[in-house]
Amino acid sequence: MTLSLTHVHGDRITVAHQATGTELFAYVYRPEAPWEAPKPYLHPIRTLGGALVTDYRPNDHRWHKGLQLTASHLSGQNLWGGNTYVHGEGYLALPERIGSMDHVGFDEVSARPDGVVIAERLTWHPYDGSLWAEEERRIEVRADAEAGSWSLTWSSAVTNRRSEPLRFGSPTTTGRPAAGYTGLFWRGPRAFRDGHAFTADADSAERDLMGDQAPWLAYCGEHDGRDGHATVVFEHAPGNDHTGAKGTHPAHWFVRTDPFAAVAPSFAFHEELVLDPGEELARRYRVHVADGAWDRAAVTAHLERHPW
């Protein structure tokens, strides 16, 4: 078996690559500081070679934690963490708007011959603790030692349990330009600042990719403390272009290389996504973590070998 897992109940699940002895990531579901909108997250995430590709509680945004599913503006609440953007006033400390995504239980935690599966149930809450949504989350992990990479598939189905619509938004839908972050969010390590982000059609060396639409986006950064680079490739499934009672909402990329490395396939970049009572929002993503500086040809070839 290539991958193994260790479960410290009530705290975290650690997944390791047996051949190299590398701990690939820890899935931490223990609640943390209320101000940071408690929610499960993956950190540290490492390449097969052991290089770190995530940051945790950086001094500029303490609520940035590796890789996590977020909701920055949700019907007036903030399940992202930290200050809340208010149009015309900027970012304000509004603790009465900070919510949480709470672990309920695991339906499966297993290491199989073909990989690892973590299936979890969560509930989403505003500040007052009432139930706003239920989520079924599934994380599947596969290693590709020949390619020097491993991949993580993240599937989430969020069901509105309110008696009124849930409105998913972002700072941009509230009035701040080019700040459409919400959804699955990755914060890269400090060393990855000024890295190289690119899609099949464009790259950050030529223009700003913020708000672009593309099936995948890759981010290549150079390490501190050791020689070499790593490449993290983010994909969103074709079915992620949500069509519901209130219309279609295609995914747009939130991506920064400065002042820090960050990527999110935002589901509410320019317009709010409205989820009616009882309606389900389903999203599926893949994240490929590779040693080395992959170029467009390498990413394309890898994704062709590993279709959805």
pTM: 0.96
Work out the average pLDDT over 91-97: 97
Across 37-57, average pLDDT: 98
Residue 227 to residues 54, 130, 223, 291: CA-CA distances in angstroms?
A: 17, 49, 6, 11
The model's pLDDT over 113-165, given as tens digits with 9 standing for 90+, comes to: 889 999 999 999 999 999 999 999 999 999 998 899 999 999 999 999 999 99
Residue 47 neighbours by CB under 8 Å, 6+ apart:
22, 53, 148, 149, 150, 230, 289, 290, 291
Alpha carbons 83 and 77: distance in angstroms, whole number: 11
Q: Is the pLDDT of residue 305 over 90?
A: yes
Task: Kindly report, residue by residue over 262-302, the tens digit of the pLDDT.
Answer: 999 999 999 999 999 999 999 999 999 999 999 999 999 99
- CA 152 to CA 15: how far, in whole Å? 11
pLDDT of residue 54: 98
Residue 279 has which token pair? Answer: 């309606």
Nearest CA-CA partner of 175 in 84, 245, 262: 84
Among 265, 284, 188, residue whose Cα is nearest residue 232:
188
Rounded to whole angstroms, how far apart are CA atoms 22 and 255? Answer: 28
Residue recorded with tokens 């909108």: 37
Instruction: Measure the CA–CA gap between 10 and 199, rounded to whole angstroms.
Output: 38
Convert the pLDDT of each residue in 191-248 to its tens digit. 999 999 999 999 998 889 999 999 999 999 999 999 999 999 999 998 886 555 555 6
Cα dihedral 179→94→120→182 (10° resolution): -10
For the cut 80, the answer to whether the pLDDT of residue 249 exceeds it is no
Contacts of 2 (CB under 8 A, 6+ apart): 17, 18, 19, 115, 143, 145
